[in-house]
Amino acid sequence: MSIRVLRWSVPVAGVLLVVAGLLVLGRAGDGLRTGSVRAEGVPMEIVRPDTDGPDRPAVVVAHGFAGSGRLMRPFADTLARRGYVVALPDLAGHAASPRPLTGEGDVDRDLDAAIRSVRALPGVDPARVVLVGHSMGAAAVVRAGTRDRRIAATVAISLGDDAAAAARPGPRRLLLLLGALEPAGIGATSEAADGDRLVRVPLVEHIGVLYADRTHHETARWLDQAVGNRPERPVIAAKRRLAAGALLLTGMLLLVLAATGRRARRLRPALPARGTWPAIALGTAAAAPAGLAGGTVLWATMQATVCGYVIGYFAGAGTALSVAAMVIRRGTGPRLRLPSWRSAASAAALTLAGPAAVVIPIHLGLTSAVPYGAHRTLLILLAAATALLLAAAHALAGPPWSAVVLALVCTPLPLAAVIGAAPGFLALVTPLIAGLLALHLLVAGCAWLGGIPWWRTVAAGALTVAWPVATALPIA
């Protein structure tokens, strides 16, 4: 295959994948009607079959910590096609909810409000309301089913709350599901609950369990038996939106990579300057206390815990690496010049295209990526801290060594969570951060190979990392 054909094949493949993703996404809601309501201040998406009929059973689906109602949309795609009216609330601190998450009482209050609202919806049989929840939401639906004996059945996915599992008697007709690859503690907690059936879904972990066909089969069959529902269209739609998002993400990234690497040439990367490795150690040492300080300040001002720690960590590491880069490369770095209008326009275009290639597929195929309320401020702060870290890493070592710098500096993040020096949920968020940083490095690497200076990629990389993280992590 010639170089010319190869260069054209990448953008063509990108366009085809984007078109395929949009087609799959467009068909994901076939046969369904979707609307939005507020139940006592709780934002909810309501999904129901597009055909009229007698009063239907209803299910309220509760998301987990750092989730959203949109994350649970695959359950609506499955259950609404089987004849249910499905409610997907954004619980306190998450997505479009205007309320902070201060404790489990906030989640219980919002879930109870959603249940009351669903029972009052036209076309719903109030005697046939059931619950589904994941992780934090699993604990919430177990507590709700224990309080309200009118709940016909409950499905708890990845239950990890020992107090909720200890409730006796538990909810009526309780099904417990968990991924076979989840931490042992979740399995032990699920086994301790007062459930009627426990199923370990093979080959999936804490998030993958939401998209497993087995999870949807077990959930649908359990609820159908509990409320006497005869499915109108017994389909399983676990992965349609996720597949559409994956196609869009791959296609849009290919288009961005084609644009940044169209003039690829051979470059010889310079070895890191003497003093780089001690500088990395300095940056890592400064990051942990800065993370604690950032978490403390942002908790006091905005009730942001995990996101506050990440902001402080990135800002501390970026500051230390920036100082080290100025000292190490003093007198040896390139002279600073004002960019030409073409360079500035190129950087601006990349700043828009790079994050869009990631954020849009995430929002359409996975979870809510629209910043509401205080999430907007967190987005700005995290983007600034991330930009400082990326710029410092590139200035200190230069591509491709900057990838090594970022990997070494960020490695302690999950370790701090494991030993209790940082919020425990950070251990689950770190893979997301690592994946987003890897996407930035992929784009930055192609740009570097195409002769584009690293500074043009920093703003795009900062938004690519910060946008999904800041919108997903709750205001707690």
Domains in the chain: boundaries:
31-238, 273-329+339-472
pLDDT of 447 reads: 85
CB of 234 within 8 A of CB of 82? yes
> What is the pLDDT averaged over residues 95-102?
92
* CATH number belonging to domain 31-238: 3.40.50.1820
Residues 432-448, mean pLDDT to the nearest whole number: 90
How high is the pLDDT of residue 233?
73
Q: Over the Cα atoms of the chain, what is R_g? A: 24
Q: Cα(4)–Cα(18) distance, rounded to whole angstroms?
A: 22
- Helix (H), strand (E) at residue 129: strand 124-134
48 vs 420, higher pLDDT:
48
* pTM: predicted TM-score of the whole model, two decimal places: 0.91
State the first-to-last Cα distance of the chain, in angstroms, to the nearest integer: 54
Encoded tokens for 74? 């695959």
CA distances to 107, 273, 372, 438 from 103, rounded to whole Å, are 7, 49, 20, 34
Pick from 173, 117, 163: nearest CA to 140: 163
For the ranges 62-76, 149-163, 314-328, the lowest mean pLDDT is seen at 314-328
Lowest mean pLDDT among 47-61, 196-210, 443-457: 443-457
Half-sphere exposure of 173 (CA within 13 A, CB side): 19
Which percentage of the chain shows pLDDT scores above 90?
Answer: 66
User: What confidence category does residue 332 fall into, taking pLDDT thresholds of 50, 70 and 90?
Assistant: low
Residues near 16 by beta carbon (within 8 Å), at least 6 away in sequence: 251
Asked if residue 336 has pLDDT above 60, the reply is no
d(Cα 274, Cα 54) in Å, to the nearest integer? 76
Whether residue 283 contacts residue 397, with contact meaning beta carbons closer than 8 Å, is answered with: no
Least confident of 57-71, 75-89, 290-304, 305-319: 290-304
Among residues 4, 5, 16, the alpha carbon closest in space to that of 254 is found at 16
pLDDT tens for each residue of 151-178: 999 999 999 999 999 999 999 999 999 9
| pLDDT tens sequence across 247-261 | 999 999 999 988 886
pLDDT at 261: 66
Q: What pLDDT band is residue 262 in, cutting at 50, 70 and 90?
A: low
| Tens of pLDDT, residues 294-310 | 888 888 887 787 899 99
Strands 85-89 and 42-49: antiparallel
Answer whether residue 425 shows pLDDT above 60.
yes
What residues have CB less than 8 Å from 450, skipping those under 6 apart? 260, 261, 262, 263, 264, 265
Mean pLDDT of the chain: 90
How far is residue 212's CA from residue 337's CA, in Å, rounded to a whole number? Answer: 53
pLDDT at 338 over 60: no
Instruction: Return the SS3 of 336.
Output: coil
Residue 86 in 3-state DSSP? strand
Classify each residue of 296-320 as buried b or exposed e, where b means 16 or more C-beta atoms within 10 Å of its C-beta: eebbeebbbbbbbbbbbbbbbbbbb
Q: For residue 337, what pLDDT band results from cuts at 50, 70 and 90? A: low
